[in-house]
């Protein structure tokens, strides 16, 4: 992996990756006082002492080999990332979300920057937890492209919920796992 890339370019990418686009007229946000830490794990959700059921396991794509995740795994990745993002909005604290991003991105950004970038979401109490019961409509299909010397997995699409939620999530390999490297969330009325 080539980590020798232009520092100015990396800083610019960090700023771009926190870009938020809020569609005009998206002031129809739902409020919630409940804790919405609904992150969906990528592994079996059985009790820790239970024997894993191989039938329920999802074959995980090997990021180190630039394998594109199956639709089922991509659905879980998008949902888990966006529900962790939503939990951070509800708490007004991006510390846990920050802990889940790629180590490479952590070198360019801190949790406070996320809070500042998404302050409008926090102030308006944006709640996208309804996506927990939905599947994403990927458009285009998940794909891997070379960006900044990395094989970057892009999951982009939308959830048909209120508010309408469009997303673009980019992941880079860390070992065999895909780790979040960029997030873009756009909201609109439905």
- Give 72-93 pLDDT, tens digit per residue: 999 999 999 999 999 999 999 9
Q: List, for residues 17-65, the tens digit of each pLDDT value.
A: 333 333 222 223 232 323 333 333 333 333 334 444 555 577 899 999 9
CA dihedral over 76, 40, 55, 67, signed as positive or negative: positive
Query: Per the confidence metrics, is the pTM higher than 0.85?
Result: no
pLDDT, residue 42, reads: 35
pLDDT, residue 55, reads: 53
Q: Which CATH class is domain 7-31+58-188?
A: alpha beta
In total, the chain counts a number of residues equal to 190
> Is pLDDT above 80 for 175?
yes
pLDDT, residue 148, reads: 86
Q: Distance of alpha carbon 69 from its chain centroid, rounded?
A: 15
Q: List, for residues 130-145, the tens digit of each pLDDT value.
A: 999 999 999 999 999 9
């Amino acid at each position: 992996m080539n980590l020798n890339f232009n520092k100015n370019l990396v800083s610019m990418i960090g700023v771009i990756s926190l870009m938020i686009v809020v569609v005009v007229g998206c002031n129809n946000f739902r409020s919630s006082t409940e804790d919405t830490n609904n992150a969906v794990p990528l592994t079996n959700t059985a009790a820790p002492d239970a024997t894993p059921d191989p039938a329920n396991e999802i074959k995980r794509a090997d990021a180190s080999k630039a394998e594109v995740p199956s639709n089922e795994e991509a659905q879980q990745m998008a949902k888990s990332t966006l529900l962790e993002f939503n939990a951070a909005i509800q708490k007004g604290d991006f510390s846990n979300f920050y802990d889940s991003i790629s180590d490479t991105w952590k070198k360019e950004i801190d949790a406070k920057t996320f809070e500042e970038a998404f302050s409008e979401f926090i102030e308006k109490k944006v709640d996208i937890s309804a996506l927990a019961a939905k599947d994403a409509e990927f458009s285009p299909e998940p794909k891997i492209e070379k960006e900044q010397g990395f094989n970057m997995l892009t999951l982009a699409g939308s959830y048909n919920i209120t508010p309408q939620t469009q997303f673009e999530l980019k992941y880079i390999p860390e070992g065999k796992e895909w780790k979040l490297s960029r997030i873009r969330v756009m909201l609109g009325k439905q």
